[in-house]
Amino acid sequence: MPRFTRAIYPGSFDPPTNGHLDMISRGIRIFDELIVAVLQNPDKNPLFSLEERMEMLREIAAPMGNVRVEAFDGLLAEYAARREAAVILRGIRAISDYEYELQMALMNRKLFPQVETVFMTAAESYSYISSRLVKEVYLLGGSIRELVPEVVQRRLKAKLRL
């Protein structure tokens, strides 16, 4: 029987960027199903609520086939195991991402050895994009047109009314 591989792509997505979009569209070419798992992180004080982040991601992922958007909290590896996902997908933009990601991957393996972390390198053209910088640039009046999908531009505008 052919094997079905489900991957979880977790993050805060506050807000989703073109970097995330690129990861999702490349991820779905490799795995049979991709669950974009949005972290419910009230203590990080997100700009967008969990529901808003999920709505934006659903709109972005709608044309992409086997992508689902879900919320999660608690232990990521436990959630992945519960959803019977074989893979946690993470993006690496620079060496600075790597140290933290490596530590997290090793901890997750310690907790749930059946779930494998897979790293994908960011596309060069998006490797400088982060949700934090997008928010900063927008708040300071800079153009974010090439950094985020249209739905995110609209939502940022509506939320911050600059």
- Under rule CB under 6 A, residue 12 binds ligand ADP: yes
Residues 109-128 that bind ligand ADP (CB under 6 A): 122, 126-127
Catalogue the active-site residues. Answer: 20, 44, 93, 131
Q: How many other C-beta atoms lie within 10 A of the C-beta of residue 12? A: 17
Residues 19-58 that bind ligand ADP (CB under 6 A): 19-20, 23
Total number of residues shown for the chain: 162
CB under 6 A: which stretch of 12-20, 48-56, 108-116, 144-152 binds ligand ADP?
A: 12-20
Minimal distance in Å, beta carbon 79 to ligand ADP?
Answer: 13
CB under 6 A: which stretch of 46-54, 88-96, 133-141, 154-162 binds ligand ADP?
A: 88-96
* Crossing angle (nearest 10°) for helices 131-139 and 150-160: 50
Are the C-beta atoms of residues 89 and 120 closer than 8 Å to each other?
yes
- Under rule CB under 6 A, residue 131 binds ligand ADP: yes
- Under rule CB under 6 A, residue 15 binds ligand ADP: no
- Under rule CB under 6 A, residue 91 binds ligand ADP: yes
Are the C-beta atoms of residues 130 and 122 closer than 8 Å to each other?
no
The strand order across the sheet containing 87-92 reads 67-72, 33-39, 6-11, 87-92, 116-121
User: Measured between alpha carbons, how far is 14 from 53 in angstroms, rounded to an integer?
Assistant: 7
87-92 and 6-11 strand pairing: parallel
- Under rule CB under 6 A, residue 97 binds ligand ADP: yes
- Under rule CB under 6 A, residue 155 binds ligand ADP: no
Residue 71's DSSP bridge partners are 38
> For binding to ligand ADP (CB under 6 A), which residues are involved?
11-13, 17, 19-20, 23, 90-91, 93, 97, 122, 126-127, 129-131
